[in-house]
């Protein structure tokens, strides 16, 4: 399978429905850059938390906005793993913890934060050849993306995947806590005023509740052929 031209692949959808796993795999398959935009919102949340810009789960918005220009985020390889760097520090593990997960919905509601991160994301994808995952990639960041996926899975399946991932990383969490956090984030993501999670009109839905990753890749290959974007 070979892509005819360099394209942008936008992967949007709910928390923990395997967007990153799938997007990473596609990036590897096509030799594309992979960008996890959720990690960028998480890195800003970690910055706010570490710098005392939060009180009782609330963000000191103006303070954070005034410091945005001091927040440098990029992605670098550590072995064969893509890691998120915040001001030159590898924060890949820390941004996945419960403290950041509980803050990130609040941070991602802030218009100026979104504006700042969207401009970084557009710069990262300006030469195409990119797979970007998030919530607003097909609607706001790259409305002209050649392929837009909207991924879903039931909240039980998603909570189980997140739980297994965190336990494997050594976090002490309960399944109930994870499920509650996921459902709260679904609500926040869909109901927020700024760029809520929604399916772009031209996005294609992929419900992977009962699909293996290999099945998803086969499905995607067929999609590329149907769209005339690839040759066998
Ligand atoms: O994909 P994730 O669960 O790591 O994302 C973390 C949070 O960031 C999620 O609650 C929604 C937010 N987010 C967003 O608002 N826009 C994006 N493009 C990506 C993530």
pLDDT tens sequence for the chain (232 residues): 899 999 999 999 998 899 999 999 999 999 999 999 999 999 999 999 999 999 887 899 999 999 999 999 999 988 888 999 999 999 999 999 888 988 998 999 999 999 999 999 999 999 999 999 999 999 999 999 999 999 999 999 999 998 998 899 898 999 999 999 899 989 988 999 999 999 999 999 999 999 999 999 999 999 999 999 999 8
Is residue 16 one of the residues assigned to a domain? yes
Residue 102 forms part of a structural domain? yes
pLDDT of residue 32: 96
Tell whether 232 is covered by a domain: no
For residue 38, report the distance from its CA to the centre of ligand 1, in Å. Answer: 4
- Residue 111 in any domain: the answer is yes
Is there a contact between 125 and 179 (Cβ–Cβ < 8 Å)?
no
Structurally, the chain folds into a number of domains equal to: 1
No. of helices (H) and no. of strands (E), the chain: 8, 12
Tell how far the Cα of 229 is from the centroid of ligand 1, in angstroms.
Answer: 28
Predicted pLDDT at 101: 87
Tell me how far apart the alpha carbons of residues 185 and 190 are, in angstroms, rounded to a whole number.
8
Atom 7 of ligand 1 has which residue's CA nearest to it? 38
Residues composing the chain: 232
Handedness of CA 95, 100, 102, 106 (dihedral sign): negative
Q: Find the CATH number of the domain harbouring 148.
A: 3.40.50.300
Ligand 1 centroid distance, CA of 232 (Å): 34
d(C-alpha 176, C-alpha 111), whole Å: 31
Does 186 reside within a domain?
Answer: yes
Q: List Cα–Cα distances, 113 to 54, 144, 159, 166, 191, in angstroms.
A: 15, 22, 27, 27, 17
Structural domain of 175: 7-223
Q: Is residue 229 part of a domain?
A: no
Mutation choice for ligand 1 from 35, 37, 84, 187, CB with most ligand atoms inside 8 A: 37
Cα of 91 vs centre of ligand 1, distance in Å, is 16
Does 228 map to a domain? no
């Amino acid at each position: 399978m070979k892509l005819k031209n360099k394209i942008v692949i936008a992967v949007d959808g709910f928390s923990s429905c395997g967007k990153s796993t799938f997007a990473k795999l596609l990036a590897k398959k096509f030799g594309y850059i992979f960008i996890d935009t959720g990690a960028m919102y998480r890195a800003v949340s970690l910055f706010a938390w570490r710098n005392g810009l939060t009180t009782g789960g609330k963000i000191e918005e103006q303070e954070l906005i005034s410091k945005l220009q001091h927040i440098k985020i990029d992605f670098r390889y550590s072995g064969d793993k893509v890691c998120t760097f915040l001001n030159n520090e590898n924060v890949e593990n820390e941004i996945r913890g419960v403290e950041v997960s509980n803050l990130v919905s609040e941070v991602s509601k802030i218009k100026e934060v979104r504006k700042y991160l969207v401009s970084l994301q557009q710069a990262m994808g300006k030469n195409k050849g990119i797979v970007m995952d998030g919530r607003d990639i097909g609607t706001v960041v790259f409305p002209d993306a050649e392929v837009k996926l909207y991924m879903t899975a039931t909240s039980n399946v998603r909570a189980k995947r997140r739980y297994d991932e965190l336990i494997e990383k050594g976090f002490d969490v309960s399944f109930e806590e994870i499920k509650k956090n996921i459902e709260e984030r679904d609500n926040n993501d869909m109901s927020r005023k700024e760029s809520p999670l929604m399916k772009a009109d031209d996005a294609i839905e992929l419900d992977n509740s009962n699909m293996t990753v290999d099945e998803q890749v086969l499905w995607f290959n067929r999609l590329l052929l149907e769209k005339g974007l690839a040759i066998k």
